[in-house]
Chains A and B, each alone.
Chain A
């Protein structure tokens, strides 16, 4: 084992130990509490370009330096599932991804990796989504996720159905990771947002589908290594025929962005937002309630300090 690997293993172990000892939500809320008297739990921004909205949102929630410390290795996991152009809203907005990478480096990140376990041919997805270019232009390394050998088995002790999963090494070997989903309709899970985006860090997704998809989605979110931030891109929203979409008529220009450390809360907010376009009762998106039951977050937005911004 070389020094780098040893150090990163140490960092991961340390990070894991902290979380398991105190519970992720506690650690994260401590972070927030310690730096601001009146912590913002969830930010919703509307009316700008992707990068603009992210810049505004991140400053409201305390700046990137709150999450990324100098010298840290960051992994960003956008949704790059499909071989589709940005206009078709099947993947996260490349402008948002590029801006996040940039801000990570500004905060002192030593390295930023970007990947997804895609559904379509990965090279086409990376290229045609525009994400590979945006991430590379901002200095990130875009790594593949199309082979099982990139994934390592991790136990998920808090999962009800999913007890273990093969997780991509970019997530496991990073100091922290940021979850960047796009808000989409989904034929099976009903909506695909931050929690559903976890399926892209996993190798074997078929297990999810054959063993109660909605529970497995919640289970995988109890992973020790949780994202430090969930950034939901809703610059364009795929309202129908998701998660892939057939044509541009499935897409609505919604120019919004949501972010929070609370994955259930940010998905609840995004689901309510989605309901304004197409009716989507929260209880149909069962993984939200399943996540709340597993104590990974809350669906009760009233209990949170929510900041709403229109640009």
Chain B
């Protein structure tokens, strides 16, 4: 029964958060973003006291239910495990292993130190929520859009325009690789070894594991009923039940209740932990650490970091030639703030309606790998749009009102007249001014009927409309990022006029 409740809630949370990430058409209610806010690392980084306290209390009362229900990466592993049970001929039997406490806390320590030294990249790589987000955005989102486009083709052939086509190309190659590696490594582990990731690497799992050692409710043996048949142990994907000793390592138990389901004698149950206590620890434990898996894990992790890093090094030459300060999304205050708080879950990348937020490669340096940056090749930042600032669960992009957004200067306009069509070819253009919401670039009289762009950086907000639309390949006009965002001045309004209904003028 408990297991069914767990599976039901987990399936609901998992489906909703996944669809929330994929939902480019904004069909789902925006309130669903609470599913991202209750994730442990985002709650911590955004200092959401309510959520932090709730999650800690949850662990102190019920154990690591977070890992079984709320964490999408945890549920992803359970889905894979379920598939493994369905398709594998030989049934997987888990056997108790000793906790790799030193490895687990070393990871937490290294992640913490790196974070405090201003390198949140490691936290971003290992945080299960962020890794899951990247996996969805870089790997599954294109698939979802392809499905949408297929439906669109079918419906439109019947003159039904409910669906519309979207661009199904992947956001960036490096994050696609990272996404596939995450998918395969964690998928492989889940297929073969249950919740190994959660109980060796995952820093969230380690911290919650510590809390759940003291949880009020937990899975316990009834020593009177148990005959050490080891059925529970064989079904424990966390390798945390020692049926001989009738002991459970609470720091690794994710409260999945599979053991309870498997027991024929009702000798294991989920109950209040501080009743009468009976200790039994006479069975000596055998060290059954499988080092090959450890090696596999560390190699996999290293390659996740090393492959993109190697790719990144190759690309530095190209980037240097442009010599541009990268643009950070409006609300992120600037590069420093973004780097301090972003764990690259790519929710903003997925939600940006004009698809201008892209995972960075080396723009922010290696420490900012995969963090969102604004690129104007395929579009520009909509003047009235504040979506990225609304969805960010980490507070890396702080919420902006539309009025604040109108003055949030993420970069400044640069005009390179030598490349300008009007200056060079003496033909009309004006595409830049056409797109400028504040007329920071405006067309002023030039030769004869010609008009030529003139810029005013003080009222520019760096939306990139001018850069995107400039038809010149070398870009006569572009946006140079502000490392720290500034406040633009309010533009002057035009002189108001009333029309006199005298005549048509012809």
Contacts and interface: CB of A to CB of B under 8 A. Distances in A.
Interface of A: 44, 46-47, 83, 111, 119-121, 123-124, 141-144, 146-147, 149-150, 186-190, 205-215, 237, 239-241, 243-244, 246-247, 249-250, 252-256, 268-269, 272-277, 281, 283-286, 301, 306, 308, 310
A148 to B, nearest CB: 9
A241 B492 CA distance: 11
Q: A-B pairs with the 4 shortest C-beta distances? A: A188-B430, A187-B443, A206-B471, A210-B471
Contacts of A212: 425, 427-428
12 contacts: A119-B435, A147-B167, A149-B165, A186-B434, A188-B451, A205-B431, A212-B425, A212-B428, A244-B435, A246-B494, A272-B505, A306-B506
A198 to B, nearest CB: 15
Contacts of B379: 121
Contact of A206 (B437, B469, B502): B469
Interface residues of B, number: 49
B429 A188 contact: yes
Contact of B501 (A47, A149, A215): A47
Given A210-B471, A212-B427, 20 more contacts: A44-B506, A47-B501, A149-B165, A150-B165, A187-B451, A188-B431, A188-B434, A188-B443, A209-B431, A212-B425, A212-B428, A213-B430, A215-B427, A244-B435, A246-B439, A247-B493, A253-B498, A269-B506, A272-B505, A310-B501
Contacts of A240: 494
Contacts of B435: 119, 244
A249 B164 contact: no
A281 B445 CA distance: 13
Contacts of A281: 449
Given A249-B495, A277-B499, A207 B471 contact: yes
Interface stretch (B218-226, B283-291, B381-389): B381-389
Contacts of B430: 186-189, 209, 213
Given A212-B428, A277-B499, A286 B449 contact: yes
A201 B165 CA distance: 17
Interface of B: 159, 161, 164-167, 353-354, 379, 382-385, 421, 425, 427-431, 433-439, 442-443, 449, 451, 469, 471-472, 491, 493-506
B69 to A, nearest CB: 34
A224 to B, nearest CB: 24
Contacts of B167: 147
Interface of A is mostly: mixed
B165 A147 contact: yes
Contact of B429 (A213, A272, A301): A213
B472 A190 contact: no
Contacts of A283: 449
B497 A252 contact: yes
Contacts of A207: 471
A274 B429 CA distance: 21
Contacts of B437: 244, 246
Contact of A244 (B436, B496, B505): B436
Nearest to B473: A210
A142 B161 contact: yes
Contacts of A121: 353-354, 379, 382, 385
A272 B382 CA distance: 34
Contacts of A213: 427-430
Contact of A246 (B159, B431, B438, B498): B438
B504 A44 contact: yes
Given A121-B353, A147-B166, A83 B428 contact: no
Given A46-B504, A146-B164, A286 B428 contact: yes
A241 B495 CA distance: 11
A239 B498 CA distance: 11
A43 B384 CA distance: 38
B493 A249 contact: yes
Given A83-B382, A243-B434, A256 B504 contact: yes
Given A143-B161, A187-B434, A188-B429, A124 B505 contact: no
A147 B379 CA distance: 12
Contacts of A44: 504, 506
Contacts of B499: 237, 252-255, 276-277
Contact of A209 (B354, B471, B491): B471
Nearest to B431: A209
A210 B472 contact: yes
A74 to B, nearest CB: 14
Contacts of A268: 506
A285 to B, nearest CB: 8
A45 to B, nearest CB: 10
A184 to B, nearest CB: 10
A273 B471 CA distance: 31
Nearest to A275: B505
Given A147-B167, A188-B430, A241 B439 contact: yes
A188 B428 contact: yes
A252 B498 CA distance: 6
Contacts of A186: 430, 434
A252 B472 CA distance: 34
Contacts of A250: 494
A293 to B, nearest CB: 16
A210 B504 contact: no
B501 A120 contact: no
B319 to A, nearest CB: 25
A86 B33 CA distance: 32
A262 to B, nearest CB: 13
Contact of A273 (B383, B421, B504): B504
Contact of B159 (A111, A273, A286): A111
Most buried by B among A249, A268, A281, A306: A249
Given A187-B442, A253-B499, A272-B505, A247 B428 contact: no
A46 B501 contact: yes
A191 to B, nearest CB: 11
A246 B490 CA distance: 11
